[in-house]
Amino acid sequence: ISAAAAKVRRPPPAASRKGRDAGRGALGSTLVTLALAVLVLAPSTFVLVAAGMLPTIVAVILDRTPRKSAALCVGGPHLSGVAPYVVFLWQGPNGLNAALATLTDVYAWLVMYSAAALGWLLYLGLPSVLGAGFRMHADHRIRELEATQARLKDVWGEEIAEAAAKR
């Protein structure tokens, strides 16, 4: 490998990586601060959201990828499963007993965790579906190009194709 190629393959300097990681730390600090504020100002909401969002919290902890795609795929649908119960809590008696009553409701758990399961299904299943779609598109494109190549051979002759293949 030449010296120029070795320079190209070097990882980015630590300063640029540090800048990206600093943004993630700031986001984490913001989320912790927000969680503490909700804990102090609305403990019933905190209890409901903390218990209801456990699969997303686990996904955040277990997802080692830099973009946290598992946490995003699980968190979006999961939040939509928890949100109705938070709204019910805010519209009704907004106390710790109401939050605990919601957490003892089997159907609330079913809705919240089914939404998380949908997120995991998206995370685990969508790459296969998209891969199959891309593969079908590529196969179709190959057939189109082969048909175009056959038409060009009819127009220009086989000797042109052989000359181009020798190059």
How many helices and strands, by DSSP H and E, does the chain display? 8, 0
pLDDT of residue 137: 97
What is the identity of the amino acid at 20?
Answer: R
Distance CA 157, CA 164 (A): 12
| 52 within 8 A of 44, measured Cβ to Cβ | no
Average pLDDT over residues 138-153: 93
Distance CA 54, CA 5 (A): 47
Phi, psi of 53 (to 5 degrees): -95, 20
Which DSSP string do the residues of 29-74 spell out, in sequence order?
HHHHHHHHHHHHH-HHHHHHHHHHTHHHHHHHHH--STT-HHHHHH
Is 18's pLDDT higher than 60?
Answer: no
Higher pLDDT, 156 or 18: 156
pLDDT of residue 106: 95
- Is pTM beyond 0.75? Reply is no
Average pLDDT over residues 118-136: 94
| Alpha-carbon distances of 134 from 105, 122, 124, 125, 146, rounded to whole Å | 43, 17, 17, 15, 18
Is 167's pLDDT higher than 80?
Answer: no
